[in-house]
Copies of this chain bind each other. A is one copy, B any other.
Amino acid sequence: MIGFTGVALVRADNERDDPAAFARCLADPAARLLVLTGLEPPVAEDGALQLAAMDPARRDALLLGYLEGAPLFVAGEGDGSAPAMRSPALMAALAEMPAADVALYGIARSLVDWHSRHGFCARCGHASVVARGGWARSCPGCGALHFPRTDPVVIMAVEHDDRVLLGRQPSWPAGRYSALAGFVEVGESIEEAVAREVLEEAGVAVAGVRYVASQPWPFPSQLMIACIATAADDALRIDATELEDAFWATRDEVRAALAGDTTRFIAPPGHAIARSLLMAWVVG
């Protein structure tokens, strides 16, 4: 299972422009509410995501969709802009949470976070308001409609001579190495973004980019696109502003790290697609 996927949420896009449908959901006695505090999830004693009964008088909730047939709302409380990155405590909580709950939390977090950081119209500067049941913001000033951002990011296992290129960023925990990654920019394909990022960060030319899998990553709202690519040669020219270090890992070294052996390096954590990508690379 890929992290942050696998929740059977029915998003009901066709109802988002229908105020009567929203009112029906609000009044539904089966409706539930997920409250994020400072973007952190409410966790029950058994480790699952804790949902409350919806309060129909509440006016700040966004309608995520339907879960198990019942409307599900989300609301953010506290300072939503505080934890820009995920805390170790959060990642530990997610590691114990059922996969579907992790995915649901990801959707909720990205949506609440986007609203908290997009209170104004980028076109005219006017304060914007929630629209489409929570899935957009509209501007009373100029009429513009703004949709939540989803930023595509490529992450790639670059291979050469049966080894894979791993790098580490200075901000990571000591010993952690992972696949290189970077944002897809306007005007480039996934394949072009992979080639550009590997050349920029490691000075390596690649070809033969193959798609492996994808994952949403809610810190704040990336679409991670995992690929395998082949390097023309193994000489590295590391961009020190992006990477602190990089090396070519053997299949045995990657296999050992994925099994928990930290001798050579510490593998990416469970919910990261980098881990799934390295697992895919190890088995060829």
Contacts and interface: CB of A to CB of B under 8 A. Distances in A.
B148 A186 contact: yes
A127 interface: yes
Nearest to A124: B120
Contact of A187 (B187, B192, B216): B216
Contact of A185 (B150, B196, B215): B150
Contact of A5 (B106, B111, B189, B211): B189
Contacts of A211: 211
A123 B189 CA distance: 29
A4 B200 CA distance: 21
Interface residues of A, number: 56
26 contacts: A4-B187, A4-B189, A11-B185, A11-B196, A13-B200, A103-B187, A106-B187, A117-B123, A118-B123, A119-B123, A119-B125, A120-B120, A120-B121, A120-B122, A122-B122, A147-B151, A149-B149, A149-B151, A150-B152, A150-B184, A152-B152, A184-B223, A186-B221, A189-B213, A190-B214, A211-B211
Given A5-B191, A122-B122, A150-B186, 9 more contacts: A13-B200, A110-B187, A119-B124, A120-B123, A150-B151, A150-B152, A184-B223, A189-B213, A211-B211
